[in-house]
Structures are given as C-alpha cells and as structure tokens.
C-alpha cells in the first residue's frame, strides 16, 4: 500500500483517510485510543502552525531567540563549521576513487 503521509492528508482535510492510513501503519483498529490520540496531536500541531503562519519574518526570528531553538540552531551551525574545518569533506570526496594501475 502506497499512500500519502497522514500529516499531508490532514493538511488537506481528509481526516477519514488519515484514520485509515494511521490504522494501517500502526496495525491497530481505526477506533483504537492511540489512533485517536495521534489524530488529535496532528490536529493540534496543524492549528499551532496555522496560528503562526501570519507572523512576519522578523517575528519568527524573535521567536527563535526566545525559545530553546536557539541552542539547537547554534549546535547545528557549529557542527557544520567544524566539519568543514576538519577536512572530512575532502576525505569523503576522494575516498571512493581508486587509482588506475
């Protein structure tokens, strides 16, 4: 069975399909309490995203500085910088190449 993700279907408002896909993925009946909880969680996340959709770019940047996202952002940036400085990119680029004999 190949189908869209439950979150994508929820964004499109196809809640019955969300229930059937989650039931298939989790191998649980459609009326199981875990399926209901997961659908409620998806619904809450979509509502939360929709409430922040009207924010300007500057307001979104201010939110980054106020939350714990700032630490995650800096750790990710530091890892990228250190990876480039370590020279690992050159090793990854040239390692699969075998010299011709």
Decide: 9 and 25 in contact? Cβ < 8 Å: no
pLDDT tens, 30-76? Answer: 999 999 999 999 999 999 888 777 778 888 788 777 777 888 889 99
* pLDDT of 25 strictly over 90: yes
Per-residue pLDDT at 95 exceeds 70:
yes
**Which tokens hold the place of 78?**
């530091």
Q: Report domain extents, the chain.
A: 1-54, 55-101
CATH class of the domain at 1-54: mainly alpha
Task: Please give the residue that has the higher pLDDT: either 20 or 96.
Answer: 20
Residue found under tokens 């106020």: 66
Distance CA(90)–CA(97), nearest Å, equals 12
């Amino acid at each position: 069975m190949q189908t869209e993700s439950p979150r994508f279907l929820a964004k499109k408002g196809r809640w019955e399909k969300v229930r059937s896909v989650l039931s298939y993925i989790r191998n649980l009946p459609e009326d199981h309490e875990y399926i209901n909880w997961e659908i409620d969680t998806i619904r809450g996340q979509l509502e939360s995203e929709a409430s922040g959709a009207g924010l300007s770019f500057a307001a979104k940047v201010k939110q980054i500085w106020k939350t714990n996202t700032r630490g995650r952002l800096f750790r990710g940036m530091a890892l990228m910088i250190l990876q480039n400085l370590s020279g690992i990119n050159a090793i990854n680029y040239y390692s699969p190449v075998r010299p011709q004999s």
